Chains A and B, each alone.
Chain A
Amino acid sequence: MVRTVIPFQGKGTPPQDAEALRLVEAMTDAEEGAANATGTAGDAWTQRELEAVWDAVGLLDAADFAETRPQRAWWPMAVGMAAAVVLGLGVWFVAQRPVVYETKVGQRQAVVLADGSRVTLNTGSRIEVRGRKVDLMRGEALFEVAHKPDARPFDVRTDLAQVRVTGTRFTVRREETGTDVNLIEGHVEVRGHRSDAQLVKLEAGQAVAVDRAGHLGPVHPADTAGVSDWLQGRLTFSGTPLKEAVAEMNRYSDRKLIVADARLSALRIDGEFEAGNTEALAQALHALYGVDTQASEDGIRLRSGRD
């Protein structure tokens, strides 16, 4: 006959609680004044550990035995609150998600924003619009800001400057070297991005530059002609150093002009050119000044023709 012995163990009860029970029985006997109260057989070490628990529990207060239900109750609330915060953040984030407008090199694009303001993006530019806050990420843009009866400000920011508007026409141009603001109509306030930077109020026809350090430069006349030029896809140079003219022209074209000869730097350019037509400028330079032009993969190299 095969007999299978399944050792009994109550569900969920840790092993060796026989030892604990023996100890408790001994305690009960002692309480009731039984004669043989002292002797408890079994694993002395386990009993000692159980006694240590019993002993130490005495230094706790009744409060330490309180039901933990209130503690259990807080976490669904915390989860709820966390969910609300996440939802709120999500809504905020979606609301804060900018509308992006971008132009490629040589491209120009006019857009109307939700508040009725018009923005014309010049070549290779990008703006991110959040309501009446516009970040100019690169390039240049003309803003024609719709006036709001509640005088809610319209803000344009670059990495260096902040322009606050109530209703006006102005350009903001972001370059490596700084940020230029040209005001055509109305009033704007310009502030460098440094927290301690001063603020300047521009009148129509005035301009200001913010340098690399975030400092405001002196107020000077706005280049309104330049603005109306680029709006029409033109570039006008008058006594402009070749280097500058080339840099300006290159903004509008992927086919760059490369000044490969230091002697050309002295050259000054006059004339009106189609923005981005680097080829035409190169031809003009060749025809007028005898500049050697050499087309290559990376652009058009300009060298002095008088060798």
Chain B
Amino acid sequence: MRPDPEAFRAGNAAAQVSGLIERLDGRLRRYLGRALRPDDADDALQDIYARLVRLAQREPPPEFNITYVFKTADSVIRDLYRHRRRREGDQHVELSDNLPEDAPTPFDELRWRQNADLLRQAIRKLNSQERLVLMLHRVEGLKLTEISQKQGIPLRSVQRLLADALAKCRHNLKDSGWYEQ
């Protein structure tokens, strides 16, 4: 019996997702923990997995990798913030009954804002090439090989620039107590 190619692809994608999730779970949690309350982080994680599984059923299925997972996580967090802000706007008019769950958490917002400010400061200290590679890779979501082609820089140099960018940021953030939070 030949496997149905559709089912095979879907199953393959789901397997791919669950494999990635297994591997990235701890890291994703830490990432979400920087931007969200623990409760919200759990919800966000569920949301990320749901989205990834949904995306896996697309035709053709996207190529899953760390960058893809984290781009999804980014957008989940962004949506959550946007949702919050809208909610906060509403709550000027009336107070929600289920305050503990739905209350805007300015603490989160503030924490992320402080986190982000420190990160921005660290990025500002990078040289323009390091900054460009970091931006193209993590914000634009380009692969390192794509950056290499697009910018006409050898892959080795791109790797070097990204490594330097990360290492410098890590140092600056360590100095500013980013990791102690």
Which residues of A does B touch, CB under 8 Å? 13-14, 16-17, 19-21, 23-25, 27-28, 30-33, 38, 46, 48-62, 64-65, 67-68
Contacts and interface: CB of A to CB of B under 8 A. Distances in A.
A31 to B, nearest CB: 5
A52 B34 contact: yes
B132 A65 contact: yes
A65 B144 contact: no
Nearest to A45: B179
27 contacts: A14-B168, A14-B171, A16-B167, A20-B162, A23-B166, A28-B144, A28-B159, A30-B66, A38-B23, A48-B30, A49-B170, A50-B170, A52-B31, A52-B179, A53-B170, A54-B166, A55-B27, A55-B30, A55-B31, A55-B73, A56-B116, A59-B112, A62-B135, A62-B140, A64-B120, A64-B123, A65-B139
A123 to B, nearest CB: 67
How many B residues touch the partner, as a band? 35 or more
Nearest to B168: A14
* Majority SS at the chain A contact face: helix
Interface string B33-52: 01100000000000000000
Interface in B41-77: 63, 65-67, 70-71, 73-74, 77
Contact of A20 (B138, B139, B164): B164
Contact of A14 (B115, B122, B167): B167
B78 A57 contact: no
A47 to B, nearest CB: 10
B166 to A, nearest CB: 5
Given A25-B159, A27-B66, A31-B67, A56 B34 contact: yes
A30 B135 CA distance: 19
Contact of B139 (A14, A17, A24, A62): A62
Given A49-B174, A52-B179, A60-B120, A17 B163 contact: yes
A152 B54 CA distance: 84
Residue of A27, A58, A60, A67 contacting most chain B CB atoms (<10 Å)? A58
Contact of A57 (B139, B144, B155, B159): B139
Contacts of B82: none
B131 interface: yes
Contacts of A61: 139
B77 A59 contact: yes
B86 interface: no
> What are the 5 closest A-B residue pairs judged by CB atoms, nearest first?
A20-B163, A55-B31, A17-B167, A20-B167, A65-B135
A45 to B, nearest CB: 10
Nearest to A50: B166
B143 interface: yes
Contacts of B74: 58-59
Nearest to A31: B143
B160 A49 contact: no
A51 B73 CA distance: 14
A50 B138 CA distance: 13
Contacts of A17: 163-164, 167
A53 B27 contact: no
A13 B167 contact: yes
